[in-house]
Amino acid sequence: MSSGLVYRTTSFATDAPFFGGSARPFSQGTRMPGEPARARLPWPGGAADRGRRARDTAQSLPARADLSPELEGARTSAEMEQPVQFDTTAIQDAAQAMEGILRLHRRAIHRQPELGFAEHRTAGYIESVLSELGVPHRRVVGTGIVAVLEGSGAGCVGVRADIDALPVSEALGREGYRSEIDGVSHACGHDAHVAVALGLAKLLAGVDDLPGTVVLYFQPAEEGPGGATPMVAAGVLDDPAPQAVLGLHVSTRHPSGVVALRYGPATGSDDGFDITIHGAGGHAAHPDTAIDPVPVAAQIITAIQLIMTREVDPVTPAVCTFGSIHGGSRHNVIAPSVALQGTLRTVDEEVRALLVARIGEVAQGIASAHRAKASIAHRAGYDAGFNDPALSELVATSARSVLSEHRVLTESKPSLGGEDFYAFG
């Protein structure tokens, strides 16, 4: 599980507890246990449960309700309380006991994937689980949800889980939980993220007297157009105000049962661009009477890759990929135009600005040299994301206290995948 980590303030207890997770938390082939009764987890020095999460206070929510109950117990202090020791064995046992119900959550969400800002069923499902747990929550920006597990201490930590799916058909799927929505699937693991966050809610709701407050942010539209910024603009970081926010993401590049972290640069900026080469159509046997955009497009693609290797510091992560080329309809007809679509990724803002400018200059220059014209449309996406090194170390230390040393990995290279989580910083 790769984590994103941002600080909200500069003061944070360096050994406050966090909870680790699995890269692929749903193992296959195990018996599906029934959900156990809610066990109260002992927290040394904690008071008896005060009933703030009692089931009899929970309200049953309709699947598409858009409710906004007031959040309770805002924690705005810039100081965390003294570190609290906790029983890692009890936590692991409680987490293991939830495996069956978490698998059910993940599969239920996987069957009904929804695109950004249209996650109505997903949000309703999350609300119903939180209500059953007695966890106060409210809707924001349509399908976003903020849930608060209030503790007795002054510290406050946020955890974000994205909830949307992708406009991608699921070619293969397990019988019984394959996507039931044509052309939409959870191809990026957000169904697992939701299940993990719901498991965290259940785990912490069973703790006697939490030493701090935990806020869960169920965020819509990470895959686009972006749900983190609207949530922040709606004030989700104001009450309660977290001193740190953690993000998580499943990974296919790591073995099951590990936590992987990055210090510093973590994700790339995500820019898209469309280049259209305008030539003049004609017969393939008479190219001298036409302006063929196909070889012009080929030269533009090659020249842009030359920019990447000759104008960017070779140790600076940067990549430009063309994912789409469209032009022409017959083997013997010169097309009047060719359309290219590409993406630009880097972790350096100066390099980003340079490449955006140079892509346009090169495309127009090459097109002009061959009597064609090029039009370029640039779409600025998410900015690069950076993890706070001190918070990364805190999470690594805490994860090692719950897991073993070899199950906590430190990654030296950033991913150039785009991510809007860092708007929570």
- pLDDT, one tens digit per residue, over 200-221 is 999 999 888 899 999 999 999 9
Residue 86 has a pLDDT of 64
Please give the torsion angle defined by the CA atoms of residues 25, 210, 231 and 189, in that order, rounded to the nearest 10 degrees. Answer: 0
CATH numeric code, 2-266+385-424: 3.40.630.10
Residue 304 CA to residue 316 CA, distance in Å, equals: 16
Residue 93 among the catalytic residues: no
Residue 67 has a pLDDT of 27
Residue 324 has a pLDDT of 98
Residue 9 has a pLDDT of 32
Identical fold for domains 2-266+385-424 and 269-379, yes or no, is no
Residue 418 has a pLDDT of 95
Residue 222 among the catalytic residues: yes
- pTM of the full structure: 0.80
Whether CATH 3.40.50.280 fits 269-379: no
Q: Centre a 10 Å sphere on the Cβ of residue 11 and count the other Cβ atoms it contains.
A: 12
Residue 240 CA to residue 328 CA, distance in Å, equals: 56
Which of 99, 150, 162, 222 does the annotation list as catalytic?
Answer: 222
Q: Reduce the DSSP state of residue 194 to 3 states and report it.
A: helix
Residue 186 has a pLDDT of 97
- Given a cut of 70, the residues of the chain with pLDDT beneath it are 1-86, 173-174
Which of 164, 270, 348, 420 does the annotation list as catalytic?
Answer: 164
Residue 300's nearest CA partner among 369, 247, 215 is: 369
Radius of gyration of the chain (CA): 25
Residue 252 CA to residue 378 CA, distance in Å, equals: 31
Could you give the C-alpha distances from 143 to 39, 73, 242, 327, in angstroms and in order?
A: 30, 23, 21, 39
Domain segments of the chain: what residues? 2-266+385-424, 269-379
